[in-house]
Amino acid sequence: MPDTLLYASTPALRVGGSLATGPMQHLVSLTVEEDVHGLCWMEARLNNWGFTGNGIDYLYLDRATFDFGTRVEVSFGPNGGTRVFTGRISALEAAYPAGSLATFGICAEDGLQDLRLSRRTRTFDQVSTADVAQQLASDHGLTADISLTGPTRVVVNQLNLSDLAFLRQLALADGGEVWLDDSTLHVQGRADRDGGSVSLEYGGGLLHFDVRADLAHQVTDVVATGWSVADKDTIEETADSGGLGAELGSDSSGSDVLAAAFAERHEHLVVTEPLTSDDARSRAKAAYLERARRFVTGSGRTGGTPELRVGGRVTLSGLGSSFNGDYRVVRTRHHFDVHDGYRTDFDVERAGIGATS
């Protein structure tokens, strides 16, 4: 087994734009978590009993330092660190345990909270996902960075959905991802998302890693069918492993392994809304890629790696020929506590398994 490498790094916390050096002396634990679905959150817990200007009392219940809506930023690492979270406080907590000091907690979400809490019913005519994303960014006072290409749809309905769920639904149909960086709303395809790159070796910076190649949800292709109002005819479009392109490299796709080990399997996607050929093609490709990219999934831990970001690439080595290579990061959890220091847990996925020799 590899030796465990300890990497202790107290996070830097900014509250209302100022470095919170005092509260950090009382820090018990802090967690920042993000996943590929977009929303990023943080949670911090501090000792809440000590000396104040008026003697010994609760330290943070006056809400002078931490209050609802206060902007917070979290960074990890030396020399100012790498920022891993920007958001606003949405919850305050207090715990009064038996036999130990009282603690105070804060929870915060990034700016996608505004989209999550806005629920509407409305209809858009002759729009693309990029058009809707631009409108939603404007509605919420955000800057937009949209490079997702997709068809113009005859009609798009937002039926009692939050703006965030609605945008995710549209982006997913075009193979896109949604996330926020400070005040910029990003809607982009996975290939266009620049989350940086990190290299880790088992026995070195990679403390542990569990990986699984699973055919249970793999298919040979996805066939999208629907009805064209304009042509008064059925539409059928198919997507298969050809859509993976350079993403697969020299690895074997789940589709290929499935066909060799069992048999071909075909997934049918029936679209009940008015459809065009471009729309059907886009939906079929997105549905196929979503499955194909989860052929190989893994979870790991490092001794604290703030550069690991959702959407980024991590190159893993020391795992053997089947599982060495590049993966896409789909979830990160940066965690610090006073007992174990700083750790980063992460989930990854990729579309192929390496050669057996």
Name the amino acid, one letter, at 343.
R
User: For residue 112, with 0-12 CB atoms within 10 Å meaning exposed, 13-18 middle and 19 or more buried, which class applies?
Assistant: buried
Q: Cα separations (Å) of 281 from 75, 133, 176, 179, 255?
A: 42, 21, 14, 24, 19
List the structure tokens of 339: 């007992």
- pLDDT tens digits in sequence order for the chain, 357 residues long: 444 344 447 899 999 999 998 999 999 999 999 999 888 999 999 999 998 878 889 999 999 999 999 999 999 987 768 999 999 999 999 999 998 999 999 999 999 999 999 999 999 999 999 999 999 999 999 999 999 888 998 889 999 999 999 999 999 999 999 999 889 999 998 888 888 899 999 999 999 999 999 999 999 999 999 988 778 889 999 999 998 988 888 999 999 999 999 999 999 999 888 788 999 999 999 999 999 999 999 999 999 999 999 999 999 999 999 999 999 999 999 999 999 999 999 999 999 999 876
- Within 10 angstroms of residue 351's Cβ, the number of other Cβ atoms is 24
The answer to whether the beta carbons of residues 350 and 250 sit under 8 Å apart is no
Strand partners of residue 55: 52
User: For residue 90, with 0-12 CB atoms within 10 Å meaning exposed, 13-18 middle and 19 or more buried, which class applies?
Assistant: middle
Phi, psi of 239 (to 5 degrees): -130, 140
Question: Is 0.75 surpassed by the pTM of this model?
Answer: yes
Rounded Cα gap, residues 156 and 42, in angstroms: 34
pLDDT at res. 108? 98
